[in-house]
Every structure is written in C-alpha cells, then in structure tokens.
Amino acid sequence: MKLWRLMIPVSLAPLLLMLASPAAQAYSGVYYVVPTSVPLRECAAPECDVLLTAYQGDKVEILERTTTGWSRVRLVDRAGIGWIRNDLLSYSPDRRTAPMPTYYVRSSVPLRDGPSPNYNVITTLSFNDPVEMLGVGTSGWAQVRIRESNTVGWVPPRYLSPNPLGERRSAPRRRAPAPKPAPKEEKAPPTAPSAM
C-alpha cells in the first residue's frame, strides 16, 4: 500500500513540471538557419553566452519555443543544442540553390513569429508589400521573408498574391450558404355559401 501512495506523486511530477513552465511550449519540426552565421546561445536572450556557431543552411530540429520569439534547437548534422531567435530560421532549405518566389500582400496583415494566430506579431505587412515565399508549413500557414529587413515570419497564404495588385483587395472569404426561402402559405379555397 505504501508503494502505491509513493507512485502517484512520482507519476504526476512530469505533468506538474510541464504545467509550471508556460513560457515555453513544446514544438517539433526541422528548420534551416537563414543568416551566414549565427550564435547558438545558452539561454533565450541576446546577452546569454554563446555555445557554438550555426551557419547558413544548417538543419536544426526545434525542441521548444518561447513566447518571446526564441527557439531551443538541436543541430541535426553535428552535435550541439542552443537557443536562436525564431526570425533567423526558415522552413525552407538553403535559399542559395533556388531563388524563392516573390509574392505581394493583398491587404494589411500581421506577420507572426509562428504559424498560427496565437503567436506574437512581429510587424504588420501593408498592401502590395513584396515578400519572399519560403514555404508553407503543415499548419497551412506560409513562411515569408521581408527582403529589406530580412525579417522572417508567418501569414495565412490567402493574404498573398503572385502578382502586384492595382487596387486594394481584401483576402477572399468563404461565403455563407444562402438562406433558405420561407415556406409559402397556402390559401384555403373559397367556401360556397350554404343554402338555407
């Protein structure tokens, strides 16, 4: 009986640890380093010590992400684990081998640091802003890069057009089904006057 009482807290400990750290969320996926070289840090802040350097095109596995825009990554092709900013990672392989297509923003849309509306907004893209399409994730969101600032983020693909637009258009929306017409009332046939 004593062993059973000891097993309950031990089996609940991992669950309590996961719930106690809401700043980081579990995440799994393979990404590529965008800059020519970037430091992998000991913790999720620019003032943290540098553990090693990752280079453009290095493949990394994302182990977790913070709500402050950092990812803890593991290098796939060589040993090393550290923290890197999300905007320095690409969903697409090394862009040097094939140029990524340019798309244009259909209407104002927030650029987020992850592929869902739950992620933080990095900046807002404006009508006809050109962006480089890096790929579309399993979530259905597109990862794009702003060429001028080299900022990488995520938007829903419906906000992107392969050609510049002449006038402002809103993103296509799904139409609601047409309402069904009300049933017609049937009139009762006139009754003949009764004979007395």
Per-residue pLDDT of the chain (196 residues; tens, 9 = 90+): 565 565 565 565 554 444 444 444 444 568 888 877 788 999 998 889 989 888 888 889 988 888 788 889 999 888 889 999 887 888 776 554 456 788 999 999 999 988 889 989 999 999 999 998 877 777 788 888 887 887 888 899 999 998 888 865 555 555 556 666 666 666 666 666 665 5
**Structure token digits, residue 33:** 């380093």
Please tell me the pTM assigned to this model: 0.44
Closest to 25 measured CA to CA, from 141, 119, 155, 151: 119
pLDDT for position 97 = 44
**Ramachandran category for residue 14: left, alpha or beta (phi over 0 → left; psi -120 to 50 → alpha):** alpha
- Which SS3 state, helix, strand or coil, does residue 132 take? strand
Domains and CATH numbers, the chain: 22-90 (2.30.30.40), 102-161 (2.30.30.40)
